[in-house]
Structure 1
Amino acid sequence: MDDITSAAAEPDRLRLLRVLGPSHVWALGVGIVLVGEYMGWNFSVGKGGMIAGLMACWVAGLLYTCVAMIDSEVTSTVAAAGGQYAQAKHIVGPLMAFNVGLFLVMAYTMLEAANAITVGFLLDTVAGMQGQAGLNQQPFIVLAIMFLAWLNYRGVLATLTFNLVITAVAFLAIVALFVSVQFGASAVPLDFSAITTDPLPYGWVGIVASLHFGLWYYLGIEGTCQAAEEVRSPARSLPYGTMAGIMTLLVAATMTWYICSGLMPWEYLGQAGTPLFDAARVTGSTGLMILLFVGTAFATLASANGCINDASRAWFSMSRDRYLPSWFGAVHPVYRTPYRAIVFLVPIALIFALGAPLDQVVTFSILSGLLGYTFMTFNMVMFRNKWPLGKIKRGYVHPFHPLPTIVLLILCSTAYFAVFLGYGTQLSAMMCFYIIASLWFHFRRYKFVRRGDQFTMPWPKPQGY
């Protein structure tokens, strides 16, 4: 089937449109991630208490700052759809590229499923406030995923412009809640007494364990790389959009911890489904409740929207290079989107959204992301060694190399241990899944790969070759 499909598709050579600017890159990165401020991060407080939750917020912020710095340099140079997959393909080799592509697809598809679960939970919570408990969440989960898949199918510019608007509203909702509480709009005063009375309820191991869900504050910022082939000026737009995105998220994450920890007991906060919306409910202000309901809904929709964009680009890129059946590598003749990849991933997201608990889906996404970040450390070292500064043109050069790489590797190793403390079985199962997938690629799929067609960068031979 691959040979027939590729023979039919090659004459067209339809390409993705370069229509995006820095604001769209910011909207893609922050849009995917901002939902982490609205749900999921608070499980870190349940793992270790308020102080542990704050430390997880800042340590995870350091980890993702390193990710953003490394990504900005490599992706502004390897400006191709697929992001980290395209980097691995050019710098490391086919087996690593296949695994990195799979990490990306699974991380974003699971994040999309988690967002859909949150939409259903939010609507159920609001219905319960109106005396209509027991709302059937499944139709809303399906509707959210199907609508966003349709939007992505129709075109990337409309998709990310939509993300830009709703992401800005969701971010401003966090700022408005923070400012309102600071100026006395809350019926319940901020209370941080737990910091002094019981700062570390589970000891220092609680700080390590909390890092697991602390990653959820920022998971997905690396998704800005997936739009590299659709950006008008990759050397300018990708670094600006990515670095502005991580700075936005650091501010939003700190404000979120401050508001929620001050308004709710950490025991409740550690298991809440929609912590920012719950914080708005505690204030007693109807206006803030409506605003944070809108903010939560917009954040989840923006994240799911960006996840569909990123997962489909990774799947499309792998198929275009024949790492997967090339049938998935088709570009729509009118909308210029990877429409088959978009449609194929919809039922996978629906299976997990309808059949798995939120914490399990979040953990699956986090672990897939962690594996991708671990790859970045080796990729960055190989990139600088093979093509030293001055040998090829870079859109951005991140400072202090190799310090960010070393810090990232150390923090990733710590995060694996944190996940193992609470989800060791799932960690082992996921590693087995990726090992089996690697064996399938090596023995069954690699023969279809045309290595000479993969390398699209006009670079000189690597140093030492």
Structure 2
Amino acid sequence: MDDITSAAAEPDRLRLLRVLGPSHVWALGVGIVLVGEYMGWNFSVGKGGMIAGLMACWVAGLLYTCVAMIDSEVTSTVAAAGGQYAQAKHIVGPLMAFNVGLFLVMAYTMLEAANAITVGFLLDTVAGMQGQAGLNQQPFIVLAIMFLAWLNYRGVLATLTFNLVITAVAFLAIVALFVSVQFGASAVPLDFSAITTDPLPYGWVGIVASLHFGLWYYLGIEGTCQAAEEVRSPARSLPYGMMAGIMTLLVAATMTWYICSGLMPWEYLGQAGTPLFDAARVTGSTGLMILLFVGTAFATLASANGCINDASRAWFSMSRDRYLPSWFGAVHPVYRTPYRAIVFLVPIALIFALGAPLDQVVTFSILSGLLGYTFMTFNMVMFRNKWPLGKIKRGYVHPFHPLPTIVLLILCSTAYFAVFLGYGTQLSAMMCFYIIASLWFHFRRYKFVRRGDQFTMPWPKPQGY
């Protein structure tokens, strides 16, 4: 892995293919996130009750709408693999870029592990319904991650086309369940009496605490930025795909809360492993149970598939710029994928999927994501100050600046407090991990970075330079 060998320069002669359109961007963003409607979000109900869960859904939706608006402007201008990492290296500086890249890799790798855990849990649940309790989940976890890594290895177009199909099926399954329940297909009627009898079982602090897992409804939508170097028209595809994605998720999240909260007691819902599938079981309809089983399986696979794509692009981009050993920055000569980055991250995902509890893995992913969103607030302000409107060409200009940035920073600060209420030790451990990683980069790795080579955008000098 010597950074000065001639082999290290080999990957630079190969480029990722520009083959994606807006629908693929939508499939990447929604595909990663839609699993949040099928599992994980319901822990917010357990933290504060039904009303708290709904408020967390909408407040988190506002947070991610701000994320989508900010990312749409910056990424349509900085159209390079690595997404927020590429933004940081152009706008802020090397140390911030290294940390942002690490946030992305860890957020997506942990989300991939959580998806694999859910696949195993879902199959175990179905086996238990057939009288075969105690299914060994580990082979299915390994098989899911290995298959999706192979698919990513073989090419991005096939990978995201696959995501487009299974994401659409998973979304339509939620719509079908919602419509069916509304038209009386459920053997159990919708019951929201808990809203009036016990609206806030843990008081107002429960609302704050519920925001922690409310983020799971939308976590990963920012991953659309990772495809910036592989879309045919970044200025059009990235804003359209991302904004369409956040609107899709807002609708799906609200329908999910409505169905599950109406069919199941909040005490059970707050700790369920597969809430939408459980809601389908409550209806007593075999057809809906099969449909939601397929939807849950497809949502988890689509999310894990997109996570492998995004984590590998972030790792690849950092390696290409020598923030990490450049050996990982290789592009496959036939499939034109960052194959070494894909393969390297597989065992990391497997370690967490096989050895960590679901809520811990989810929290690790959420915290890494939150750190990335906090960076966006400073990044957006610096971007507008250094290159004001009219100085460089932007593919999209988000309105109301700086209001979305201020709102995002306030909501991120609230979310940190929400995580601290339940997972303070893990929050402290993660901050220590990123501090140690920053020190390693500063003292051991920075000397390999070629600052001049990493600036790929044809921009004028910043304002006040």
TM-score range, shorter chain: over 0.9
CA deviation digits over 1:28-86, x for unaligned, max 9?
A: 00000000000000000000000000000000000000000000000000000000000
Q: Matches of 2:136 and 2:400 in 1, distance apart?
A: 52
Whether the 8 Å CA contact 2:386–2:462 is kept in 1: the answer is yes
Question: How far did 1:3 drift?
Answer: 3.0
Whether the 8 Å CA contact 1:219–1:369 is kept in 2: the answer is yes
Whether the 8 Å CA contact 1:72–1:242 is kept in 2: the answer is yes
Q: Matches of 1:334 and 1:66 in 2, distance apart?
A: 39
Whether the 8 Å CA contact 2:3–2:327 is kept in 1: the answer is no
CA deviation digits over 1:120-165, x for unaligned, max 9?
A: 0000000000000000000000000000000000000000000000
Of 4-13 and 437-446, the range deviating more from structure 2: 4-13
Of 134-143 and 10-19, the range deviating more from structure 2: 10-19
1:342 aligns with 2:342: yes
CA deviation digits over 1:184-223, x for unaligned, max 9?
A: 0000000000000000000000000000000000000000
Q: Matches of 2:238 and 2:64 in 1, distance apart?
A: 16
Structure 1 SS opposite 2:13: coil
CA deviation digits over 1:71-119, x for unaligned, max 9?
A: 0000000000000000000000000000000000000000000000000
Q: Matches of 2:365 and 2:100 in 1, distance apart?
A: 13
Q: Matches of 1:35 and 1:9 in 2, distance apart?
A: 39
Any unmatched runs of 5+ in structure 2? none
Q: Residues 452 and 203 from structure 1, CA distance in 2 versus in 1: closer, same or farther, beyond 3 angstroms?
A: same
Whether the 8 Å CA contact 1:111–1:362 is kept in 2: the answer is yes
Q: Residues 8 and 71 from structure 1, CA distance in 2 versus in 1: closer, same or farther, beyond 3 angstroms?
A: closer
Aligned positions of 1:261-340 closer than 5 A? 261-340=261-340
Any unmatched runs of 5+ in structure 1? none
Whether the 8 Å CA contact 2:68–2:221 is kept in 1: the answer is yes
Whether the 8 Å CA contact 2:111–2:307 is kept in 1: the answer is yes
Question: How far did 1:8 drift?
Answer: 4.7
Q: Residues 6 and 404 from structure 1, CA distance in 2 versus in 1: closer, same or farther, beyond 3 angstroms?
A: farther
Structure 2 SS opposite 1:438: helix
Q: Matches of 2:267 and 2:297 in 1, distance apart?
A: 25
Name the counterpart of 1:225: 225
Q: Matches of 1:254 and 1:325 in 2, distance apart?
A: 44
Q: Residues 330 and 50 from structure 1, CA distance in 2 versus in 1: closer, same or farther, beyond 3 angstroms?
A: same
Matched length: 465
Structure 2 SS opposite 1:8: helix
Whether the 8 Å CA contact 1:24–1:164 is kept in 2: the answer is yes
Whether the 8 Å CA contact 1:313–1:338 is kept in 2: the answer is yes
Q: Matches of 2:367 and 2:219 in 1, distance apart?
A: 10
Q: Residues 34 and 5 from structure 1, CA distance in 2 versus in 1: closer, same or farther, beyond 3 angstroms?
A: farther
Whether the 8 Å CA contact 2:11–2:331 is kept in 1: the answer is no
Structure 2 SS opposite 1:247: helix
Q: Residues 37 and 12 from structure 1, CA distance in 2 versus in 1: closer, same or farther, beyond 3 angstroms?
A: closer
Q: Residues 54 and 84 from structure 1, CA distance in 2 versus in 1: closer, same or farther, beyond 3 angstroms?
A: same
Q: Matches of 1:407 and 1:201 in 2, distance apart?
A: 28
Q: Matches of 1:174 and 1:5 in 2, distance apart?
A: 52
RMSD: 0.7
Q: Matches of 1:6 and 1:35 in 2, distance apart?
A: 43
Q: Residues 216 and 5 from structure 1, CA distance in 2 versus in 1: closer, same or farther, beyond 3 angstroms?
A: farther
Q: Matches of 1:364 and 1:8 in 2, distance apart?
A: 33
Aligned positions of 1:18-57 closer than 5 A? 18-57=18-57
Whether the 8 Å CA contact 1:43–1:271 is kept in 2: the answer is yes
Q: Residues 290 and 310 from structure 1, CA distance in 2 versus in 1: closer, same or farther, beyond 3 angstroms?
A: same
Question: How far did 1:11 drift?
Answer: 7.7
Whether the 8 Å CA contact 1:264–1:279 is kept in 2: the answer is yes
CA deviation digits over 1:292-337, x for unaligned, max 9?
A: 0000000000000000000000000000000000000000000000
Q: Matches of 2:338 and 2:426 in 1, distance apart?
A: 31
Whether the 8 Å CA contact 1:43–1:270 is kept in 2: the answer is yes
Question: How far did 1:12 drift?
Answer: 5.7
Q: Matches of 1:448 and 1:426 in 2, distance apart?
A: 32
Question: How far did 1:13 drift?
Answer: 1.0
Whether the 8 Å CA contact 1:77–1:235 is kept in 2: the answer is yes
Q: Residues 424 and 445 from structure 1, CA distance in 2 versus in 1: closer, same or farther, beyond 3 angstroms?
A: same
Q: Matches of 1:447 and 1:194 in 2, distance apart?
A: 60
Question: How far did 1:5 drift?
Answer: 4.1
Whether the 8 Å CA contact 1:6–1:326 is kept in 2: the answer is no
Whether the 8 Å CA contact 2:21–2:231 is kept in 1: the answer is yes
Whether the 8 Å CA contact 2:11–2:330 is kept in 1: the answer is no
Question: How far did 1:2 drift?
Answer: 2.8
Question: How far did 1:10 drift?
Answer: 3.9
Question: How far did 1:9 drift?
Answer: 2.8
Q: Matches of 1:112 and 1:402 in 2, distance apart?
A: 33
Q: Matches of 1:383 and 1:142 in 2, distance apart?
A: 42
Q: Residues 11 and 225 from structure 1, CA distance in 2 versus in 1: closer, same or farther, beyond 3 angstroms?
A: closer
Whether the 8 Å CA contact 2:11–2:329 is kept in 1: the answer is no
Q: Matches of 1:216 and 1:3 in 2, distance apart?
A: 38
Structure 1 SS opposite 2:399: coil
Name the counterpart of 2:194: 194
Name the counterpart of 1:257: 257
Q: Matches of 2:276 and 2:225 in 1, distance apart?
A: 29
Whether the 8 Å CA contact 2:33–2:218 is kept in 1: the answer is yes
Whether the 8 Å CA contact 2:43–2:271 is kept in 1: the answer is yes
CA deviation digits over 1:239-269, x for unaligned, max 9?
A: 0000000000000000000000000000000
Q: Matches of 2:297 and 2:173 in 1, distance apart?
A: 11
Whether the 8 Å CA contact 2:163–2:305 is kept in 1: the answer is yes
Whether the 8 Å CA contact 1:5–1:326 is kept in 2: the answer is no
CA deviation digits over 1:166-192, x for unaligned, max 9?
A: 000000000000000000000000000
Q: Matches of 2:347 and 2:173 in 1, distance apart?
A: 32
Give the TM-score normalised by the residue count of structure 2. Answer: 0.99
Q: Matches of 2:264 and 2:3 in 1, distance apart?
A: 59
Structure 1 SS opposite 2:273: coil
Q: Which portions of structure 1, spanning 4 or more consecutive aligned residues, are displaced by more than 2 angstroms?
A: 1-12
Q: Matches of 1:29 and 1:69 in 2, distance apart?
A: 14
Q: Residues 164 and 5 from structure 1, CA distance in 2 versus in 1: closer, same or farther, beyond 3 angstroms?
A: farther
Question: How far did 1:4 drift?
Answer: 4.2
Whether the 8 Å CA contact 1:5–1:327 is kept in 2: the answer is no
